[in-house]
Chain A
Amino acid sequence: MKTKNDLDEKLRAAVRHYIDALVTEPIDLWPSVKAQLAPDPTRARGRLRIRWIVSIATLALLALLAFFLWPPAKPATAEEVIHWVLTESTRGVGAGEVLYERFLITTPPGALSRASGATAQLWQSDAPHAIRFEVVNQDDKLVMFTLRNADHLWQSLHFRNPIATEVQAILEVPNADPEVAYPRTPLGLPRPVEEASPFRKGILYALPDLDQLILHSSSECAGIACLTQGLEEIDSGIELRLQDSTRQQNYYQVDILDAASGVMLGSMTIDAGNFTLLKFVDQQGVVVRLLERQILDQSMVSADLFSSPPSGVRVLFIPEGWEQAKGQSEDLTDRIWVISTEPEPGLLSTDEVTVTLGYRLVSRPLSSLRVYLQPYFPFCSEHEDGCASGVVAAAEAMVAVGEESIELHMPIDPWDAKGQVVLMAEFTSLGTMKTFEEYLWEFPSNDSR
């Protein structure tokens, strides 16, 4: 009788011999294997292509790594950031269509640096036409943002030490709508201005108030003394001290001191022409402010007014309408012409002359347009004896960039009403004066009155 082992062995032998029967021919696979190892041109091309793809992908990866990881030669400057923001803000909008009433970017030293991982973001908010910029420093703190929609411009400036121990924000929100919903609410949403004297507030909060305060006070004053006096009345605890060295300039520098202690609280730089705030620097000399509604540029004030303070804070000045006007007009010449006068030139017996002027202002966003009647001495200069000038009648108005007409009324002082007068006009801020020699009036002699 066969055992189980016998049966298994018989099966084993059967399988082996079954396979032996299947593999009957001699085996020599090497020739076929070797033949298949020969490079196939198509396969080779495919491998080459793959190698190229891999190489290019590797290079791209290395480039990306280098971009993000390689330390840059130098940190981004404020100018670079400003340029970036402006470029991004106008992208797809069209040159001249995006205007900023005011635009400030600050970069405390070291806070904004590519090497330290600063980033800048541009994103569109849910608000219609709103554009928001963010510049974030290496600590993921918001350095600044600006947001502009159809009607409003929101801004924030965030400073770190040494201005404050914590990041602070200032918002200048002209006519801002606090109900506007924005998708993100970082540090920069509007904050109520603290109820305190603008001279004593944190300098960031003080700026908008001080601006309005000086604007209001200057409308009631004809001189800097009046202005400083009026400002001192707002906060009896302060003392404003005019630096004499600036009297001969076209701006005034006014130091703000604590009246009791004599401690310097800051200083203001005020336009000598229209008493508006140009710059406000705190006792640490870190913050600068410029009001763009003033007709100013570096050619009109001393260079140091616009130079960066040691802290590195920078201000950008983009007057509203200016860039637009420059972008639209090839001819940047400002012009004034006479459309009509009442009465017409000739013998003048009225106590007022009304002049309708046409003007074209393109080199500045705003300017004061002044007309006046001045004694006419065609053959001598003002400074020669007998040629002294005196304004007989004058009128002035602020005009904006563009081409418009304006009607100005010049009351006549009867005591000056003598001789022959000529119509003159000028954009006062530009220092361009034009004499309209065909518009001459002659007062009746005293004998004929």
Chain B
Amino acid sequence: MEPEAKAIQNLKAGDISGLKLLVEKYQQSAVRAAAAITRDQQEAEDVVSKCFLVVYERINQFDPARPFRPWFLKIVVNAALKRVGADSRLTSLDNLAAREAAIASINLEMGEHQSPSTAIEHEEALAVLRDAISQLTPKQRAVLTLRYDLGLSEKEVSERLTIPRGTVKSRTASAVNRLRKLMADWLSG
């Protein structure tokens, strides 16, 4: 039996050591998905922690024949969306440190603007990215996160968010079009 299956089996039997394995395995991706929606790591961690408690309480509802990750991410995304909806402050929050880190990260990762002479230009471009993403709705960010960060297909996103595939498609398209418009100059650069 695989470690994950064994962990789930133990958790179903009331052994919380099984939960520990699941936390360690899925916390990273879960927090990333939640953070994309809440745009705050602390908030995302709080959401995900509670989601693991939900897993603990509802593990008997989980069908071990099916993969755990989609089931859990669905809980996380819904919880994050609920959190954003419940706390409007989060919609306007954007962490300065995160923004700066994002800029640095993008600079390093994309390797297209490593010239020191253009650093200021790049910073401006990434500020545009940050502003653009922050202008998306939480639901659009959730779709983008699942599609672009977690790499889920439209069908999987549809299942995770319990929305029709058409809605996933249109929500993704509207989010992308919005980003393209907002970031037109940077994308064409």
Q: By the criterion CB–CB under 8 Å, are A22 and B19 in contact?
A: no
From B41, B48, B109, B179, A13 is in contact (CB under 8 Å) with B109
Over the window 1-40 of chain A, the binary record of Cβ atoms lying under 8 Å from chain B Cβ atoms (1 yes, 0 no) is 0100001101111111111111111011110111011000
Q: Across the interface, which residues of A come within 8 angstroms of B13, CB to CB? A: none
* Bound: A429/B52 CA distance, A: 92
* Bound: A300/B39 CA distance, A: 101
Over the window 34-66 of chain B, the binary record of Cβ atoms lying under 8 Å from chain A Cβ atoms (1 yes, 0 no) is 011001110011001110110010000000000
Over the window 57-77 of chain B, the binary record of Cβ atoms lying under 8 Å from chain A Cβ atoms (1 yes, 0 no) is 000000000000000000000
From B102, B106, B187, A22 is in contact (CB under 8 Å) with B102
Q: By the criterion CB–CB under 8 Å, are B99 and A21 in contact?
A: yes
* Bound: A13/B106 CA distance, A: 8
* Bound: A401/B91 CA distance, A: 93
From B45, B97, B102, A20 is in contact (CB under 8 Å) with B102
* Bound: A15/B151 CA distance, A: 11
Given A18-B102, A18-B133, verify A10-B36 contact (CB < 8 Å).
no
The DSSP consensus for interface residues of chain A is helix
Over the window 194-213 of chain A, the binary record of Cβ atoms lying under 8 Å from chain B Cβ atoms (1 yes, 0 no) is 00000000000000000000
- Measured CB to CB, the closest approach of chain B to A295, in angstroms, equals 77
Asked if B144 is at the interface (CB within 8 A of a chain A CB), the reply is yes
| Chain B interface size, under 10 / 10 to 19 / 20 to 34 / 35 or more | 35 or more
* Bound: A335/B46 CA distance, A: 95
Q: By the criterion CB–CB under 8 Å, are B28 and A27 in contact?
A: yes
Q: By the criterion CB–CB under 8 Å, are A19 and B145 in contact?
A: yes
Which has the most chain A C-beta neighbours within 10 Å: B19, B106, B148?
B148
Q: Across the interface, which residues of A come within 8 angstroms of B45, CB to CB? A: 27, 29, 32
Q: Across the interface, which residues of A come within 8 angstroms of B109, CB to CB? A: 13, 17, 20
Q: Across the interface, which residues of A come within 8 angstroms of B163, CB to CB? A: none
- Measured CB to CB, the closest approach of chain B to A26, in angstroms, equals 9
- Measured CB to CB, the closest approach of chain A to B177, in angstroms, equals 10
Chain B's closest residue to A2 (CB) is: B188
Q: By the criterion CB–CB under 8 Å, are B105 and A37 in contact?
A: no
Given A22-B39, A29-B27, A30-B24, verify A7-B180 contact (CB < 8 Å).
yes
From A19, A24, A37, B56 is in contact (CB under 8 Å) with A37
* Bound: A15/B145 CA distance, A: 7
Q: Across the interface, which residues of A come within 8 angstroms of B36, CB to CB? A: 15, 18-19, 22
Over the window 64-103 of chain B, the binary record of Cβ atoms lying under 8 Å from chain A Cβ atoms (1 yes, 0 no) is 0000000000000000000000000000000101111111
| Chain A interface size, under 10 / 10 to 19 / 20 to 34 / 35 or more | 20 to 34
From A10, A11, A22, B40 is in contact (CB under 8 Å) with A22
Q: By the criterion CB–CB under 8 Å, are A11 and B148 in contact?
A: yes
Asked if B124 is at the interface (CB within 8 A of a chain A CB), the reply is no
Q: Across the interface, which residues of B come within 8 angstroms of A2, CB to CB? A: 187-188
Chain A's closest residue to B26 (CB) is: A29
* Bound: A32/B48 CA distance, A: 11
Q: Across the interface, which residues of B come within 8 angstroms of A21, CB to CB? A: 98-106
Q: Across the interface, which residues of A come within 8 angstroms of B28, CB to CB? A: 23, 27
Q: By the criterion CB–CB under 8 Å, are B101 and A29 in contact?
A: no
Given A2-B188, A14-B129, verify A24-B106 contact (CB < 8 Å).
no
Given A11-B187, A12-B148, verify A24-B41 contact (CB < 8 Å).
yes
Asked if B130 is at the interface (CB within 8 A of a chain A CB), the reply is yes
Asked if B119 is at the interface (CB within 8 A of a chain A CB), the reply is no
Tell me which residues from 102 to 129 in chain B have a Cβ below 8 Å from any Cβ of chain A: 102-106, 109-110, 129
- Measured CB to CB, the closest approach of chain A to B10, in angstroms, equals 14
Q: By the criterion CB–CB under 8 Å, are A25 and B130 in contact?
A: no
- Measured CB to CB, the closest approach of chain B to A23, in angstroms, equals 5
Q: By the criterion CB–CB under 8 Å, are B41 and A23 in contact?
A: yes
- Measured CB to CB, the closest approach of chain B to A304, in angstroms, equals 71
Chain B's closest residue to A33 (CB) is: B52
* Bound: A10/B180 CA distance, A: 10
Q: By the criterion CB–CB under 8 Å, are B110 and A24 in contact?
A: no
* Bound: A24/B42 CA distance, A: 10
Chain A's closest residue to B48 (CB) is: A29
- Measured CB to CB, the closest approach of chain A to B56, in angstroms, equals 6
Q: Across the interface, which residues of A come within 8 angstroms of B48, CB to CB? A: 29
- Measured CB to CB, the closest approach of chain B to A248, in angstroms, equals 86
Q: By the criterion CB–CB under 8 Å, are B98 and A24 in contact?
A: yes
Q: Across the interface, which residues of A come within 8 angstroms of B97, CB to CB? A: 24
Which has the most chain B C-beta neighbours within 10 Å: A17, A22, A23?
A22
Q: By the criterion CB–CB under 8 Å, are A8 and B176 in contact?
A: yes
Asked if B155 is at the interface (CB within 8 A of a chain A CB), the reply is no
Asked if B31 is at the interface (CB within 8 A of a chain A CB), the reply is yes
Nearest first, the 10 closest Cβ-Cβ pairs linking A and B are A21-B102, A21-B101, A15-B148, A12-B148, A22-B35, A17-B106, A33-B52, A29-B27, A30-B23, A17-B105
Q: Known A-B contacts: A18-B106, A27-B45. Give 6 more (CB < 8 A).
A: A10-B187, A22-B35, A23-B28, A23-B35, A34-B20, A36-B53
* 11 A–B contacts from the bound complex (CB under 8 Å): A2-B187, A10-B110, A11-B148, A15-B133, A15-B149, A19-B145, A21-B101, A21-B103, A22-B95, A32-B49, A34-B20
